[in-house]
Amino acid sequence: MKKIIAGLAIILVIVCQPLRAQGDKDYRFTIKTNPISALGGPIFLVFIPITGEYKVLFEARTFQKQSIEIGAGYLGPSLILNLDQIADSVSSISTNGFRVQAAYKFFLTQTLAPNGFFVGPHISYATATIKDKNDPENVIDATKINFNILFGYQLITQGGFTLNIYTGLGYKLRDYDIPTDSDFDFEDEIPRGAPAVPFGLTFGYAF
């Protein structure tokens, strides 16, 4: 899946490269999202997504070659996984939570921020509650904190279309509060802390 997304992103950059703003428009802000994240993320059970994310991000230039980006998202059930099928004796599961994140970008190209290649720190905090609707005591409280150094490329066309592609290196901390008698028997499979290699893309509008 990541290889497919990466290939599509590279094609979009190549195709849209001639359309970049060349100084005739001064884009200072962007607003972005990625509907694909509803399929899974940011809370996973090993490699299995147990949440989907519906998010929006806002970015603003702070200096000529710098910008700040903040984002918020609602965490609901993953669109590609039915948790009812992998939890013992649970027939009706609800998932609710949120994620907040922030990044500071340093742009390395000749164009003004927020257009071009960038690098910078990123942090995010996510929390979600997963419970059996028929048994309020049968519940998981999950949290995840990410610390990353991101690098990527943000394309802004003359029409204001924005495509942001990024990867990086980082570390993630996870905590799952699971009652000992819970039917959500996942705890032994979950590493609490681990290195992270973030990868993703967002698209939206610049103004």
pLDDT surpassing 90 at residue 202: yes
Element housing 154 (H / E):
strand 135-156
Residues in contact with 125: Cβ distance below 8 Å, sequence separation at least 6, in sequence order:
99, 100, 101, 143, 144, 145
| Per-residue pLDDT tens digits for 102-126 | 999 999 999 999 999 999 999 999 9
**Whole-number Å distance between alpha carbons of 133 and 139:** 9
Dihedral (CA of 7, 11, 17, 21) sign: negative
Mean pLDDT of 168-196: 76
C-alpha of 205 from chain center: 18
pTM of the model as a whole: 0.81
Could you tell me the two tokens for 12? Answer: 């979009």
Mean pLDDT of 59-71: 98
**Whole-number Å distance between alpha carbons of 79 and 55:** 15
Between residues 47 and 168, which one has the greater pLDDT? 168
**pLDDT class for 99, splitting at 50, 70, 90?**
very high
List the CATH number of the domain containing 130.
2.40.160
| Per-residue pLDDT tens digits for 18-49 | 444 434 689 999 999 999 999 988 988 767 78
Q: Report the number of distinct structural domains present in the chain.
A: 1
Q: Cα-Cα-Cα-Cα dihedral of 181, 185, 186, 189, to 10°? A: 100
pLDDT surpassing 60 at residue 55: yes
83 vs 78, 142, 163, 184, CA distance in Å?
9, 15, 32, 10
Domain that holds residue 107: 2-206
Place of tokens 């049968």: 138
> 112: closest CA among 19, 22, 14, 10?
22
| Per-residue pLDDT tens digits for 7-21 | 545 544 554 444 444
